[in-house]
Amino acid sequence: MAAETQGDAKATDVLDLKTRNIGPVILLGPPGAGKGTQAKALVARYGIPQISTGDLLRENRARGTELGKQAAAIMDRGELVPDELVCSMVAARLAEKDCVRGCILDGFPRTVAQAKWLDDFLARRVAESDQPWPPLVVVSIVVEYNQLWRRLTGRRTCPVDGTIYNIYFQPARVPDTCDICGSKLVTRKDDSEDVISKRLKEYESQTLSLVPYYRQSGRLHEIDGDRSVEEVTAALFRAIEHDRL
Ligand code: AMP
């Protein structure tokens, strides 16, 4: 019980968390591990932005940018967008003002090449910035395969406010309708069964190798993601604050 309460900061501490230099936090985990949901809880606690490469790519597609056009077919097949494209998109985003105290990286890096690029980028930033970030915190959310499958095939999203539901675990009050704004819920194009299977394979073949990569550098926290959203959030706070405070 004592361990469970360690992450509960007092109101004054929470205020402090919103002005602190938190630095970059990587949320690692397979598709469906809950990275997007957890990133939102971290944004609320630390006041730093979530950078989801999946969301940025989808925004580029929606706006019809050159990057969006290049990425579209690759994303629909459940494959990874080439490292150079994703890394330059991330570099541009990290240079924005709201990242000055840090950021939550969700879905990036996804390959060892991206992780190495990020290490170089962060080393340069420490050398050049007048407000350098503290070292990287990496948290891996671990979830069993069958559980991931149900989470992904059951996922429905509100296209208007972004609320995420699941037909098995967290259904909307009225089927297919957002509880908050009443919009019709949608299934992401890459949440079809064959694409999900491809995305999970991509994770196993490419992204899983980041676990030993970061473990070896002593920067990895592994968290059991087969628990309630709130329990996983509390464990994430503890891991990040263990390294930061
Ligand atoms: P996500 O929303 O994180 O599941 O990402 C959706 C899709 O965007 C992935 O299946 C990839 O096609 C692409 N994508 C997102 N992040 C990356 C990344 N870091 N590297 C390569 N492709 C990515």
Band of residue 6 on the pLDDT scale cut at 50, 70, 90 = very low
Phi, psi dihedral angles at 170 (to 5 degrees) = -145, 65
* Site to substitute for ligand 1 among 37, 77, 80, most atoms within 8 A of C-beta: 80
User: Quick check: CB of 53 below 6 Å from ligand 1?
Assistant: yes
Atom number, ligand 1, closest to the C-alpha of residue 71:
12
Band of residue 5 on the pLDDT scale cut at 50, 70, 90 = very low
User: 14 pLDDT exceeds 80?
Assistant: no
Band of residue 3 on the pLDDT scale cut at 50, 70, 90 = very low
The residue type found at 146 is N
Task: For residues 57 and 97, give the distance between their C-alpha atoms in angstroms, rounded to a whole number.
Answer: 20
Q: Indicate the SS3 state at residue 157.
A: strand
Phi, psi dihedral angles at 207 (to 5 degrees) = -80, -30
Catalytic residue among 35, 45, 93, 156: 35
Distance from the Cα of residue 151 to its chain's centroid: 16
User: 166 pLDDT exceeds 70?
Assistant: yes
Burial of 216 (0-12, 13-18, 19+ CB in 10 A): exposed
pLDDT of residue 137: 95
Decide if 156 contacts 163 (C-beta within 8 A).
Answer: no
Task: For residues 243 and 245, give the distance between their C-alpha atoms in angstroms, rounded to a whole number.
Answer: 6
The residue type found at 7 is G
Task: For residues 52 and 108, give the distance between their C-alpha atoms in angstroms, rounded to a whole number.
Answer: 7
Band of residue 72 on the pLDDT scale cut at 50, 70, 90 = very high
Protein residue with its CA nearest to atom 15 in ligand 1? 54
Decide if 40 contacts 52 (C-beta within 8 A).
Answer: no
Distance from the CA of 6 to the center of ligand 1, in angstroms?
Answer: 34
Task: For residues 138 and 221, give the distance between their C-alpha atoms in angstroms, rounded to a whole number.
Answer: 6
Tokens found for residue 61: 């597609």
User: Quick check: CB of 23 below 6 Å from ligand 1?
Assistant: no
Active site residue 244: no
User: Quick check: CB of 75 below 6 Å from ligand 1?
Assistant: yes
Catalytic residue among 110, 125, 151, 238: 110
Decide if 213 contacts 129 (C-beta within 8 A).
Answer: no
Task: For residues 102 and 180, give the distance between their C-alpha atoms in angstroms, rounded to a whole number.
Answer: 30
User: Quick check: CB of 195 below 6 Å from ligand 1?
Assistant: no
Atom number, ligand 1, closest to the C-alpha of residue 55:
2
Band of residue 120 on the pLDDT scale cut at 50, 70, 90 = very high
Burial of 222 (0-12, 13-18, 19+ CB in 10 A): middle
Pairing of the two strands 164-166 and 155-157: antiparallel
Protein residue with its CA nearest to atom 6 in ligand 1? 54
Active site residue 110: yes
**10: number of Cβ within 10 Å:** 8
